[in-house]
Homo-oligomer: A and B are copies of this chain.
């Protein structure tokens, strides 16, 4: 069931809502142009070449690293090459961290190496490593409930499997272990945390990702295990003898440093101050080349804007492509963007982000007033032939987009098929070969319909409910 969306920002928004209610439909001529754009996207868009370029010429680009710097330079140059009217950066401040080595091995009763990786911003072992018995928990809640004496001095092993789903809905429950596990382990005096990777594959890759580290007094090493290695520990534990694991980990916390949101605009012909934001995040984790996460999204929104910039005239409003920095380490670029532009947020008509890999789009969600559903319905006329069905009115806007939604900015989400996304997510295996060029064309076709019509529509969506 849809929750009713409520106006909450008072006077100005209420006024906008009244205005916009007067014209709830799109013009036929705009729909015709959108149709042409869509078909051009299907035939000749080339988002694949952008993600190819980013992965080959930059590759890994974790926030605050040299790769991140190169990505920022790459993005600016690419946007200029693609014919954007304005290209600029906005600096953000990021925590920095250097990944060193992470080795793990079972020392008893069945000595063999384990494939692990440090979770983001994780701590080191003492020089020479540490060896301790592992103690298994079904999930992070079981660890949280466990008495400290059961955990103290041991390596807490969270062994929760993630469920595969097109929507990726298994991610949240599994990722709780990643975000909260190390803190729980540290508070109970554990020697370290071993986490079954948050992923759906059964390959020998550990999935990294961000933890909550702020304010943890004595952080302990926190490592993800590949699924086959988690199976191995599980099988050893079933044999009933204590299982000893040796960890040797080195990472370094670094001083804060700069990163950047990279922004490119196709400037509106009539209302240049009114803005439709389409975004993706430029940063990636550091072990893959960030093809799916989020090179594909970067490519889709860039190509969407390129197609619109190639029209004989500029759209009515400004189309702003924002490539957010430091998404992976806590939506840092989006949060600092919203803070820096607090006074301009009302000029943001709509936000949408592409950040769920390179699968086909199958569902169109909105977060707009019900009185404006006619616009979404008209968009659907062009989206339905792409195999997309109408979803709900609880669009998150994507991870970075959700930061805008939290301020009442209307949002749309073009849901991608994420069935395989978490096979690769945050692993060394997130590489270009996982991207299907044909799927990207379908993505761009949908994005260009949504983006173009949002820039052209009469009236706007006002402000929307920030409830989930």
Contacts and interface: CB of A to CB of B under 8 A. Distances in A.
A231 B432 contact: yes
A115 B432 CA distance: 14
Interface in A382-438: 427-429, 431-434
Nearest to A228: B431
Contacts of A111: 59, 66-67, 70
B288 A58 contact: no
A204 B202 contact: no
Interface in A97-143: 110-113, 115
B204 A110 contact: no
A285 to B, nearest CB: 13
Nearest to A58: B110
- Chain A interface residue number, banded: 35 or more
B52 A431 contact: no
Contact of A205 (B66, B110, B204): B204
B60 A235 contact: no
A401 B392 CA distance: 63
A236 B56 contact: yes
A43 interface: no
Instruction: With a 10 A CB-CB cut-off, give which of A111, A228, A231, A288 has the most chain B CB atoms.
Output: A228
Interface string A33-67: 00000000000000000001001111110000011
Contacts of A202: 431, 433-434
Nearest to A203: B429
B204 A57 contact: no
Contact of A112 (B59, B203, B231, B239): B59
Contacts of A112: 58-60, 67, 289
Contacts of A235: 52, 56
A73 interface: no
A443 B137 CA distance: 37
A263 interface: no
Contacts of A432: 228, 231-232
A227 interface: yes
Nearest to A115: B428
A47 to B, nearest CB: 16
A67 B204 CA distance: 19
Contacts of A228: 289, 429, 431-433
Interface string A59-87: 11000001100100000000000000000
Contacts of A428: 115, 204
A49 to B, nearest CB: 11
B429 A110 contact: no
A60 B236 CA distance: 15
A113 B60 contact: yes
A400 B434 CA distance: 37
A299 B15 CA distance: 75
Instruction: With a 10 A CB-CB cut-off, give which of A59, A205, A288, A432 has the most chain B CB atoms.
Output: A59
Contacts of A113: 59-60
Interface in A224-278: 227-228, 231-232, 235-236, 239
Contacts of A59: 110-113, 232
Contacts of A236: 56
Interface in A182-233: 202-205, 227-228, 231-232
Given A58-B110, A59-B112, A60-B112, A288 B52 contact: no
Q: Which A-B residue pairs are the 5 nearest by beta carbons? A: A59-B112, A228-B431, A204-B429, A204-B428, A202-B433
16 contacts: A52-B235, A56-B232, A58-B110, A58-B112, A59-B110, A59-B232, A60-B112, A60-B113, A202-B433, A204-B429, A228-B289, A228-B429, A228-B431, A231-B433, A232-B289, A232-B431
Interface of A: 52, 55-60, 66-67, 70, 110-113, 115, 202-205, 227-228, 231-232, 235-236, 239, 288-289, 427-429, 431-434
Given A57-B110, A228-B432, 13 more contacts: A55-B232, A56-B110, A56-B232, A56-B239, A57-B239, A59-B110, A59-B113, A60-B113, A112-B289, A202-B431, A204-B428, A227-B433, A231-B431
